Amino acid sequence: MTILNKMGPVATDEIFDLNREFFNDTYPEKASLGVGVFRTNEGKPWPLPVVREAEQRLFDEQSLSRHEYTAIEGDMAFVRLARDVLFNFHGKEDSDAQKAEKERIASVQTVAGTGANHLGAIFLAHNMKPSKVWLSDPSWANHDTIWDQAGVPRAKYPYYNPATRLFDFEGMMAVLENEGQEGDVILLHASAHNPTGLDPTKEQWKVIADLCERKRIFPFFDSAYQGFASGSLEEDSWAVRYFFNEKPHLEMCVAQSFSKNFGLYGQRVGAFHYVLSNSEKQLNRTVVDNLCHLIRGEFSMGPSGGCSIVKKVLTDENLTAQWHENMREMASRIQSMRRALYDELVRLGTPGTWEHIVQQNGMFSYTGLTSEQVQALKEKYHVYLLKSGRASISGLSTNNVAYVAKAFDDVVRNVN
Based on DSSP, count helices (H) and strands (E) in the chain, helices before strands: 16, 13
State whether 175 and 224 are in the same domain: yes
**Of residues 134, 140, 147, 323, which has the active-site annotation?**
140
Tens-binned pLDDT, residue by residue, of the chain (416 aa): 567 787 888 888 888 888 899 889 899 998 999 888 899 999 899 999 999 999 999 999 999 988 988 999 999 999 999 999 999 986 556 777 788 889 999 999 999 999 999 999 999 999 999 999 999 999 998 999 999 999 999 999 999 998 888 999 999 999 999 999 999 999 999 999 999 999 999 999 999 999 999 999 999 999 999 998 888 999 999 999 999 999 999 999 999 999 999 999 999 999 999 999 987 778 899 999 999 999 999 999 999 999 999 999 999 999 999 999 999 999 999 999 999 999 999 999 999 989 999 998 888 999 989 999 999 999 999 999 999 899 999 999 999 999 999 999 999 988 87
pTM of the entire predicted model = 0.93
**Of residues 75, 184, 222, 236, which has the active-site annotation?**
222
State whether 261 and 383 are in the same domain: no
pLDDT confidence of residue 93: 64
- Active site annotation includes 222: yes
**Of residues 260, 311, 312, 378, which has the active-site annotation?**
260
Q: What is the largest CA-CA distance in the chain?
A: 66
Contact 111, 301 (CB under 8 A): no
Does a structural domain hold residue 6? no
- Its domain, for residue 26, covers 12-46+320-414
- Active site annotation includes 144: no
* Cα separation, 85 vs 79, whole angstroms: 10
State whether 201 and 324 are in the same domain: no
State whether 302 and 324 are in the same domain: no
The H-or-E segment that residue 197 falls in is none
Q: Which CATH number belongs to the domain containing residue 379 in this structure? A: 3.90.1150.10
State whether 178 and 240 are in the same domain: yes
State whether 203 and 117 are in the same domain: yes
- Active site annotation includes 46: no
State whether 170 and 308 are in the same domain: yes
Does a structural domain hold residue 170? yes
**Running DSSP on this structure, what letter comes out for residue 218?**
E
State whether 241 and 342 are in the same domain: no
Contact 144, 194 (CB under 8 A): no
